[in-house]
Amino acid sequence: MTDSDWVVGFHAVLGLLESRQAVEVVWVQDGRRDERVRKVVSKARARGADVRFVPSGKLREVAGTVAHNGCAARSGPVPLREIEDCIAPEGRPGKLLLLDDVSDPHNLGAAIRSAAAFGVDGLIIAGPSAPPLGGAAAKAAAGHVHSVPLVRAKVAADVLVHLAGEGYWVFGADSTGEDLGRVKVPDRWVLCVGSEERGLRAKTRHRVDEWVSIPMAPGVESLNVSVATGVLLYAMTQGNSETP
């Protein structure tokens, strides 16, 4: 699957139809007439999209292991941005999220959803293991793949050097970091989150200005990447701001 492949599931398909992205075709499971499917059909026809009623087996072919909820859609490529598009004007607050070689599509999708929920200016998807934006990632994003500017980058460290030059303070998520509740969050920041297996890569770590962690009960060592990302973004967007 590529960034321009099928999206499956009610929320992912509805989010696509409500975006400005071109929609090539919408598949709906033959015989399904529930309210959610009717809503998808109505939106698709209003967009002028080609709507086809197909057997459940056809949907399973494009969905793979992802639950299709009776619908799937194919569009052109998910629009990607340049990092410059996400940088706040000089003197204005800015908040960015960088995922460093996070390979699980469900974690990517859930992180996109959190980024949209907390008003992040852009999400940078870095590293060779980053998954495509279709399929499981789009479904986990629950229709929000088009709600936040997305940037792909090969080398996270290069992006962070550029952002530092634009006045962004670089936070890195790590279990050994300072309790986020004790950290003063500046007006312009980028939060870097790595994979569950190894965290941030070495070159990325060298560009971190300050390490932060989530306080947890004894016996709990870590959280799922997407859960931790949501908790950190919530805490960092609550207005505790100071220039570093």
Domains of the chain: 6-75 (3.30.1330.30), 83-236 (3.40.1280.10)
8 Å CB contact between 175 and 228: no
Confidence band (pLDDT; 50, 70, 90) for 239?
Answer: low
| Least confident window among 63-72, 137-146, 206-215 | 137-146
| pLDDT score for 74 | 86
Q: What pTM does this model have?
A: 0.79
Report whether pLDDT(106) > 60: yes
| pLDDT score for 98 | 98
Burial 155-190 (b: 16+ CB within 10 A, else e): ebbebbeebeeebbbbbbbbeebeebeebebbbbbb
pLDDT greater at residue 195 or residue 232: 232
| pLDDT score for 22 | 77
Model confidence pLDDT, tens digit, residues 149-199:
999 999 999 999 999 999 999 999 998 999 988 999 999 999 999 987 889
Confidence band (pLDDT; 50, 70, 90) for 243?
Answer: very low
| Closest of 19, 23, 121, 107 to residue 72, by C-alpha | 23
Confidence band (pLDDT; 50, 70, 90) for 242?
Answer: very low
